[in-house]
Amino acid sequence: MAASKDPRPCSIADTLALVGEKYSLLVMREVCLGNGRFDQLVRNIGAPRDILATRLKRLVDAGILTKRMYSERPQRFEYRPTTAGLELEPVLMTLMAWGDRHLRKDDDRPMVIEHHCGNELVPVVTCSACGEEVRHGEKTPHPRTPGWTVSGPTAA
Amino acid sequence: MAASKDPRPCSIADTLALVGEKYSLLVMREVCLGNGRFDQLVRNIGAPRDILATRLKRLVDAGILTKRMYSERPQRFEYRPTTAGLELEPVLMTLMAWGDRHLRKDDDRPMVIEHHCGNELVPVVTCSACGEEVRHGEKTPHPRTPGWTVSGPTAA
DNA sequence: CGCTGAGAGTTGGAAAAACAAACTCTTGCC
DNA sequence: GGCAAGAGTTTGTTTTTCCAACTCTCAGCG
């Protein structure tokens, strides 16, 4: 049963350890929108410059962002998402959808995304196997580490 | 153009302001798994007890969790997700999927989820209108607040 | 040439969080 | 009576955040 003091091994936790610090996901939002310059990030996110600098270093080290020079003289840089970084977009979209649904009344959404199908993009999480929308209660978690179980029926 | 010092109005930011603090989403993970008791949370998450207590209060206040008594004498409580809380599951699933893909080599995923269709649940974010998987580059963001635009082509 | 200004960070010190370990309080059970 | 579980508090220390001001490189202007 391993060291019983360790928390549950979990990819959610691991992902959050990387991008879960304050501002990191907002950085991803901005770079995914194409706003990758330092001062843009500062303004659009509202983060302290020093902290933003730390976050950017971490995200670059993690292979989620790249730092690109867009001007040699004077040297100017811009951050862009790597492929791995772009793949965080589903996370951003589900976060945004939740906020739109629960934190705002009706139609004051600050941003609407248009899908290339022509409709407004309302993201839905589906099962890749059957294509159905994933609802709570229609799935069963199976921990694969000895000693780690789930308790009750996951109900509300 | 409003106070030009404010950051971009955004539901991602608003959602993270609520559940983006350290441990909060791990709390949601555990309560969604049915492990809603204080000491279970401490153990499974590995959070300091005082901080966990603060997070729980915030999540209850926000209407994401409820505190339920499961024993009167001695008084014992348990936290459960509300409907709004359960709707954070898509966020958790996309985070987990990202971690499984990028932070682990091949098949050491700590947890596998089975969908009621019988297959392993690999979550995919789709457009609710056309049902297609959402890919980067196949969507256009439209900020709805004057003064807030997006910059370049969102490419990597 | 000297000045102003943009962009991309650093630095320094004060204020706020996080952390760990111990402590509290209620009740059940031997 | 004594120990133990569960659900938090308390206390004192260590980290982080935060803010404002500062640096450094060049470009353009008059």
If residue B60 lies in a helix (H) or strand (E), which one and from where to where?
helix B49-61
Q: Find, among A53, A91, A148, the residue nearest to B33 by Cα.
A: A148
Cβ of A22 less than 7 A from strand D: yes
Q: Is A107 on the interface with B (CB under 8 A)?
A: no
CA of A124 to C1' of D4 (A): 47
Give the torsion sign (CA, A66, B21, B135, A106). Answer: negative
pLDDT at A1: 44
Q: Is A114's CB within 8 Å of B140's CB?
A: yes
- Euclidean distance between the first and the last CA atom of chain B, given in angstroms as a whole number: 30
Chains A, B: CB contacts within 8 A come to 314
The tokens for A130 are 């059957």
- The answer to whether A38 CB is within 7 Å of strand C is yes
A56-91 in b/e burial notation, b at 16+ Cβ within 10 A? Answer: bebbeebebbbeeeeeeeeeeebbbbbebbbbbbbb
Tell me which residues of chain B, numbers 65 to 94, contact chain A at a CB-CB cutoff of 8 Å: 80-94
Condensed to tens digits (0 to 9), the pLDDT of residues A66-117 reads 999 999 989 999 999 999 999 999 999 999 999 999 999 878 999 999 999 9
A32-60 pLDDT, tens digit each? 999 999 999 999 999 999 999 999 999 99
Provide the CA B58 to C1' C10 distance, Å, integer.
Answer: 35
* pLDDT 10s digits, B61-90: 999 999 999 999 899 999 999 999 999 999
